[in-house]
Amino acid sequence: MSALTKAELAEHLHTELGLSKRDAKDMVETFFDEIRGCLRENEQVKLSGFGNFDLRDKRERPGRNPKTGEEIPISARRVVTFRPGQKLKSRVETYSNAKAREA
């Protein structure tokens, strides 16, 4: 199965909700842009049922170049983490169970 992309989301908004192609494309762009903008301002995004995008500040820690084995510190950084919500988790769980039955 090929991956779902912004183009397909926009197409679906057009066919399912009747948004113009232009509005549908803008809608998809704005959706991800707003979430990104919020995270950039260090604000968590909570989408009930779907999940939360959280921010974590990581301290510098020792690392290694996997190819050469050379030790290089991994600098302090801020990262985005995603915690799936209950509904998303249970929908995916159903897939896990279906897979397990196939095996």
Residues that bind other proteins (CB under 8 A): 1, 3-6, 8-9, 12-13, 16-17, 19-20, 23-24, 26-28, 30-32, 34-36, 38-51, 53, 55, 57, 76-82, 84, 87-89, 91-96, 99-100
Whole-angstrom distance, CA of residue 5 vs CA of residue 25: 11
- State the residue for tokens 């995008």: 53
In the bound complex, what is the minimum distance in angstroms from residue 65's beta carbon to other proteins? Answer: 20
Chain-centre distance for alpha carbon 50: 10
The count of other CB atoms within 10 Å of the CB of residue 10 is 20
Q: Please say which residue, 68 or 103, places its beta carbon nearer to other proteins.
A: 103
